[in-house]
Amino acid sequence: MNAILNKLREWMEGKEDEHLEFKEAKNRFDFEELVKYCAAIANEGGGKLILGVTNKRPRRVVDCRAFESLERTKAGLTERLHLRFEIDEIEHPDGRVLVFHVPSRPIGMPIQYRGSYWMRAGEGLVPMTPDRLKRIFDEAGPDFSAEICAHAALSDIDPTAIQRFRAMWQRKSGNEALDKVTDERLLADAELVVDGRLTYAALILLGTRQALGKYLAQAEVIFEYRSSEASIPSQQRKEYRQGFFLFDEDLWNTINLRNDIQHYQDGLFIWDISTFNEMVIREAILNAVSHRDYRLGGSIFVRQFP
């Protein structure tokens, strides 16, 4: 019992987000609203809906009297959403708390209820936007980056990109033997080359400018700096149409040129902190390159403002 109370305290001290929702539900909670919230949490990848706790911090238990028959509630949720739910009933010293463990939706299948695919928006629910729905439906589609680029050859790969890829893989894995592996074997082991033929992923990561212009022109990252968001012309613009391993360092260095130091006080001390955290920026850029749909036209834009 102590373990579940400790877990509840940990949830209550955490930040409410698309995976964690608190509702007071002192006397009742509308079942239709419960179903919609569970659908929205499932569409976000799963999480927890906790009833009997205030949603603003510092949170406190207020005793939930809703849904006295948990088996009936669970059956109703399963019938409407076709997902398997678990419900914990916690007897806290300040009252009853219900924890609904909401599973994730299946890959490529958003959960629909009452004619809408629900998602979180602040503290409420709204129907999913078309672009969000498309991203979910695309999950079940074929991996375009793993497909063979029919006319590309090993000569379309930049040797400098392979060298950097090898060095990074070696540093990450600690495998010194990678020094002795041929370029062809290295690319095959990384599944960038299949049966001696290049995949689109190989071009995206390692391709020359000429190869990308010929086979995958939309694999382009454009950096723009503007002195203000109202400024129409950019004060600096750089276009990168080449393998990612050829420009990622230059892109970060360009961003870092205007990475001002901010100061904040903590007790007796004043600390310095960069405006743009390198790890966060690199992760955002990597996600943009890795997760975009290359079957669609248009470049990736990285826009920086003071």
| 200, 244: one domain | no
Query: Do 248 and 130 share a domain, yes or no?
Result: no
Whether pTM exceeds 0.85: no
What does the buried/exposed string (b/e) look like for 28-45 if buried means 16 or more CB atoms within 10 Å of the residue's CB?
Answer: ebeeeebbbbbbbbbbbe
On whether both 229 and 300 belong to a single domain, the answer is: yes
Q: For residues 109, 136, 294 and 186, what is the CA-based torsion angle, rounded to 10 degrees?
A: -70
Domain end: 157, 192, 215, which one? 215
Residues 202 and 232 occupy one common structural domain: no
Give the end of a domain, one of 215, 244, 264: 215
**79 in the same domain as 123:** yes
Cis before 58? omega within 30? yes
In tens digits, the chain (306 residues) has pLDDT values of 678 889 999 999 988 888 999 999 998 999 999 999 999 999 999 999 999 999 888 999 999 999 999 999 999 999 999 999 999 999 999 999 999 999 999 988 999 999 999 998 877 899 999 988 988 988 877 788 999 999 999 999 999 999 999 999 999 999 999 999 999 999 999 999 999 999 999 999 999 999 999 999 999 999 999 998 888 889 999 999 999 999 999 999 999 999 999 999 999 999 999 999 999 999 999 999 998 888 888 899 999 998
User: Looking at the 3D structure of the chain, how many domains does it have?
Assistant: 3
As a whole number of angstroms, the distance between CA 130 and CA 52 comes to 34
Shared domain check, 155 and 129: no
CA–CA separation, 245 vs 243, rounded Å? 6
Looking at 215, 239, 257, the residue that finishes a domain is 215
Segments forming the whole domain that contains residue 290: 221-304
State whether 189 and 231 are in the same domain: no
Q: Are residues 267 and 299 in the same domain?
A: yes
